[in-house]
Amino acid sequence: MSVKINENYLLLKSNYIFAEIGQRVDNYSNENPQANIIRMGIGDVTRPLPQAVVQAFKRAVLEMGDAEKFHGYGPEQGYDFLIQDIIDKDYAPKGINLGEHEIFISDGAKCDTGNIQEIFALNNTVAVTDPVYPVYVDSNVMAGRTGAMSDDGQYKNMVYLPCIEENGFIPELPEEDVDLIYLCYPNNPTGTTLSKEQLKEWVDYARDHKSIILFDAAYESYIMEDHIPRSIYEIEGAREVAIEFRSFSKNASFTGTRCAFTIVPEELNGYDSQGQAIDLNHLWTRRQTTKFNGVSYPVQIAAQAVYSKEGQEEINKSIKYYMKNARIILENIKKICLRAYGGINSPYIWIKTPEGMDSWQFFDTLLHKAHIVGTPGVGFGPSGEGYFRLTAFNTLKNTEEAMERLSKLTL
Ligand code: MLT
């Protein structure tokens, strides 16, 4: 006998997109050590943790070294102090009432959006917008919910909802019945948003079809326009059909510190094979208490400081800073006569590649001729072919330098 592997992993593309880019950039940089590379690929922040967060973090670390104040295992779902601030400061002001047990603190929206599929049966039909954050697709491939990838770049048994220039990057409702629907707004990678009316169509679809929407709102704090919904629970009926994912990564620079949360309302039900309704909040609680031991106490104290007056002022400054970069990128891309989207309520700018150049060719051109790294759109799914993503997360200086280099490029 020998150990058998989970063969679903063999269905995956060999590398995760950002690992693939990292590899290519490392190779280029080893061969061209003099190249001053500006990274606008992976959506990693460059601003440090807010001072209010750092001070709280330090105090909590000191407590951990004091026998009187030390914390061992915390509650798997998170400490009440953080959960209560999320309820009072993120949701209540928008008229959304959440119960403490509906919020699950975690170490990242990537982990949660990847893990959530575990509580659903393998024979559910999954729909994703295309292009899409690869974690939603890959986690379902790993679980065995799809077939192999076809020549068109789509996995069998997965429903792709194209979001392209022709439909204004707005996904159409699926023609077939789907069970699980991943939506990410503001969208990664296209940087586009849905209005309340557009999001309501999805909530209504999910109510009619007894589907569940997995709503990734990791970029919510980049919404600048008042009419764009910040939470899916602003839509009537969403508590019956939607799980929402939020993160402290992109608003408060927690990409390396790790803290996020997921909301599973108590009204949410899935169904067993007998057609009996089962409480999804209970299933997620069961999953988390078994497989997760919670986020460390100092990190949760640090996350709580995001909600302090000083914390809020600092994160607002950072968001403004990145959104200024986004404006600069948008303006300059248009100056070189390329079409660009997003960047208004999102830190991502989605660029149509020049005529006759595919996503990877554009990636190579920018890397080799301007030493700029972005993300090839096709890495996010087949409908991303012919597009390219830049992030506004670099420093202002690097963003300006990158745009200066771009303006001198003959494409
Ligand atoms: C991205 O670049 O799409 C993000 O950094 C991915 C992530 O947050 O995991």
Asked if 140 and 159 touch (Cβ cutoff 8 Å), the reply is no
Are residues 227 and 82 part of one domain? Answer: yes
How far is ligand 1, taken at its centre, from the CA of residue 292, in Å?
A: 22
151 lies in some domain: yes
3 lies in some domain: no
CA distance 305 to 252: 10
How far is ligand 1, taken at its centre, from the CA of residue 228, in Å?
A: 22
Q: Is 110 in the pocket of ligand 1 (CB under 6 A)?
A: yes
pLDDT given for residue 411 in this prediction? 80
Are residues 363 and 291 part of one domain? Answer: no
Ligand 1 atom index nearest CA of 135: 9
- Among 247, 278, 308, the domain-final residue is 308
- Of all protein residues, whose CA lies closest to atom 9 belonging to ligand 1? 110
Asked if 146 and 11 touch (Cβ cutoff 8 Å), the reply is yes
pLDDT given for residue 345 in this prediction? 98
364 lies in some domain: yes
Q: Is 255 in the pocket of ligand 1 (CB under 6 A)?
A: no
Low-confidence ranges of the chain (pLDDT < 50): none
Pocket test residue of 16, 17, 18, 107 for ligand 1, highest count of atoms within 8 A of CB: 18
Are residues 237 and 130 part of one domain? Answer: yes
pLDDT given for residue 200 in this prediction? 98
How far is ligand 1, taken at its centre, from the CA of residue 43, in Å?
A: 5
CA distance 211 to 242: 9
- Among 308, 324, 350, the domain-final residue is 308
Task: Look at the chain and report how many structural domains it folds into.
Answer: 2
Taking alpha carbons only, the member of 333, 317, 308 closest to residue 390 is 333
Ligand 1 atom index nearest CA of 255: 8
Are residues 124 and 102 part of one domain? Answer: yes
Are residues 354 and 279 part of one domain? Answer: no
Asked if 129 and 163 touch (Cβ cutoff 8 Å), the reply is yes
Q: Is 398 in the pocket of ligand 1 (CB under 6 A)?
A: no
Are residues 102 and 25 part of one domain? Answer: no
DSSP 8-state symbol, 216: E
- Of all protein residues, whose CA lies closest to atom 4 belonging to ligand 1? 43
- Among 308, 329, 360, the domain-final residue is 308
Task: Work out the end-to-end distance of the chain between its first and last CA atoms, rounded to an integer number of angstroms.
Answer: 57
Are residues 299 and 326 part of one domain? Answer: no
At residue 130, the 3 state secondary structure works out as strand
Are residues 129 and 211 part of one domain? Answer: yes
Are residues 396 and 303 part of one domain? Answer: no
1 lies in some domain: no
3-state secondary structure 373-392: ECEEHHHHCHHHCCEEEEEC
Per-residue pLDDT tens for 215-241?
999 999 999 999 999 999 999 999 999
69 lies in some domain: yes
Q: Which range marks the domain in which residue 69 is found?
A: 54-308
2 lies in some domain: no
Q: Is 346 in the pocket of ligand 1 (CB under 6 A)?
A: no
Q: Is 188 in the pocket of ligand 1 (CB under 6 A)?
A: yes
- The angle subtended at Cα 286 by Cα 241 and Cα 256, nearest 5°, is 85
| Token pair 């080799």 in the structure block, residue | 368
Are residues 261 and 208 part of one domain? Answer: yes
61 lies in some domain: yes
DSSP 8-state symbol, 220: G
The CATH number of whichever domain residue 206 belongs to comes to 3.40.640.10
Are residues 104 and 72 part of one domain? Answer: yes
The CATH number of whichever domain residue 27 belongs to comes to 3.90.1150.10
Asked if 193 and 346 touch (Cβ cutoff 8 Å), the reply is yes
280 lies in some domain: yes
Q: Is 258 in the pocket of ligand 1 (CB under 6 A)?
A: no
At residue 46, the 3 state secondary structure works out as coil
> Which distant-in-sequence residues (6+ apart) come within 8 Å of 145 by Cβ?
117, 122, 124, 126, 157, 158
Asked if 147 and 155 touch (Cβ cutoff 8 Å), the reply is yes
Pocket test residue of 17, 132, 133 for ligand 1, highest count of atoms within 8 A of CB: 133
pLDDT given for residue 410 in this prediction? 83
- 365: number of Cβ within 10 Å: 17
Are residues 324 and 300 part of one domain? Answer: no
